[in-house]
Amino acid sequence: MHSENTFEENSYEDLFYNRLTQLRSAKKVSARDMSLSIGQNPGYINGLENKKGLPSMTVFFYICDYLNVTPKEFFDESIICPEQFKNLCQDMKELRHDDLQLLWTLTKRLQK
């Protein structure tokens, strides 16, 4: 059972490292700029992305805040661009029924 937990922990760690890189790249910000923006040394994010440690919970929340995602969104790999997804969902709430239907039809067509 211990080896099972180690595998799960490594999987979650890899998810963290990969997701951090993905979300930072999507925001089009350098690792250095992000590090400085969250109050860390210039190489901090680069170190994380190179699997050299994990952030404290406090720093993780700073990372989420900087990326404009919730911790849940951070770990939800099904949402490639959480910030844009959130904005789109908010905008869709204001659409009329027929416009929402049109958007749904367009979405289905784009998925092909």
Which among 11, 13, 23 is positioned nearest to 65, based on CA atoms? 23
Q: For residue 2, what pLDDT is reported?
A: 45
Q: Which residue has the tokens 């289905």?
A: 108
Full-model pTM: 0.76
Q: Give the H/E segment covering residue 80.
A: none
> Is 90 exceeded by the pLDDT of residue 80?
no
Q: Tens digit of pLDDT for each residue in 24-65? A: 999 999 999 999 999 999 999 999 999 999 999 999 999 999
- Give the up-direction half-sphere exposure of residue 89: CA atoms within 13 A in the CB hemisphere: 7
State yes or no: pLDDT of 1 exceeds 60.
Answer: no
Is the per-residue pLDDT at 7 higher than 60? Answer: no
**pLDDT of residue 103 exceeding 70:** yes
CA dist 23 and 38 (Å) reads: 15
Mean pLDDT taken over the chain? 90
Amino acid identity of residue 14, one-letter, is D
> What is the C-alpha separation between 75 and 106, in angstroms, rounded?
28
